[in-house]
A and B are shown apart, each in its own frame.
Chain A
Amino acid sequence: MVDRLEALYRARVQEFRRVAAAIAGDRELGCDAVQEAFAKAVRSAGRFDGSGTLEAWVWRIVVNAARDARRRTRPGDPSPSNSLLQGTSGEPSADGQVPLDALTERQREIVFLHYYADLDYAAIADALAISPGTVGATLNAARSRLRGALEEVRT
């Protein structure tokens, strides 16, 4: 079991890190969340019941770890040096980048699981414990939101 986890880690660690960073709002927090999540998976390997794929099970742990990391960063704290949260309340930042805050937490998670990890709707649904239909609807709403924010930046 640990061998399978190691293989998954080595094959997809960059995708895990990218998604975790997006959810946590910080690259270092994201990297740390992935390490913690895999450590937890190693410790909890006996609890994997095989009802879904191992990758979906690990994704769920990674997403939860990233959520926890984001929650530990209180709103009043100064942003980390490499923070991805470059604006507030969905407003484009001064340098023209689209802020992650333009999306809700659920939208952010689905967008990055889809684009960064290349997971299909079913896999995302499995990782987030929601229905595939919710994944599709949320993804469409997130795309619209991001396009709107991008057009605002360009104009």
Chain B
Amino acid sequence: MNELLDTIVPPFDEPADWDDVLRRARARRAPRRLVLAAVVVGAALVVGPALGVLLTRDTTPRLPADADKRNVVVVVQPLTGRILVQAAPWKGHDGICYLMLSERAGCVPRTPRATLVLTSPITGYTFDERVVSGTALTLAGKRVPLQLVHFPKLAVTFFFRRGRLPLLFKEVALRDAAGHVVVRQVLRR
């Protein structure tokens, strides 16, 4: 058997070359580093834009996606042109979706007496259908009239202060047609 096998693969007598082994071992390490670098670069290319979008994304509130965008109403401060309120019917619900002062947004179900007041400047809404006028009371005790805008289709009334001067307020009072206060909200600081 050994003779037979010797004829098939004769013995080798070429000298050993350990240096070649070491060269090959080192040569394969470089591509691995290149692959690693390529992976890092690739990851940066993929993750970078996503991270950029994340970091630069406009995080200011927007009118909620559930708002019926075909029926948006807008309340504009007449003296400054600033959009104080955007509102629209809440799709699939009896209520509204709103964006006020570009800082607060949400969708709320219609409840007969629900009222929300924001400050700086005073802006708010009420579902109370009795409300026809309103005033805000400054810290100095002066009453300042509020301007009201009623949207029949949304069955909501928005109010805001007309003047430009920044004032500190401690209370908002909304009145019915008879002049009775039907909503009173103390403002917290």
Residues on A lying within 8 angstroms of B by beta carbon are 6, 9-10, 13-14, 17-18, 21-22, 27, 31, 35-36, 38-40, 42-43, 84, 97-98, 100, 111-112, 115-116, 143, 146, 150
> Which B1-50 residues have C-beta < 8 A from chain A?
1-2, 4-5, 7-9, 11-14, 16-18, 20-25, 27-29
Known: A39-B28, A42-B25, A146-B1. Contact between A31 and B14, CB under 8 A?
yes
A99–chain B nearest beta-carbon distance, Å: 8
Known: A115-B2, A143-B1, A146-B4. Contact between A9 and B11, CB under 8 A?
no
A21–chain B nearest beta-carbon distance, Å: 5
B3–chain A nearest beta-carbon distance, Å: 10
On whether the beta carbons of A18 and B1 are closer than 8 Å, the reply is no
Residues on B lying within 8 angstroms of A by beta carbon are 1-2, 4-5, 7-9, 11-14, 16-18, 20-25, 27-29
- Neighbouring B residues of A84 by C-beta, 8 Å: 8-9
On whether the beta carbons of A10 and B16 are closer than 8 Å, the reply is yes
Cross-chain contact of B21 among A18, A35, A112, A150 (Cβ < 8 A) = A35
On whether the beta carbons of A31 and B25 are closer than 8 Å, the reply is no
B6–chain A nearest beta-carbon distance, Å: 9
A125–chain B nearest beta-carbon distance, Å: 20
On whether the beta carbons of A14 and B18 are closer than 8 Å, the reply is no
- A21 CA to B24 CA, complexed, in Å: 19
On whether the beta carbons of B12 and A22 are closer than 8 Å, the reply is no
Cross-chain contact of B18 among A9, A27, A115 (Cβ < 8 A) = A9
Interface centre among B5, B16, B17 (most CB of A within 10 A): B16
On whether the beta carbons of B21 and A38 are closer than 8 Å, the reply is yes
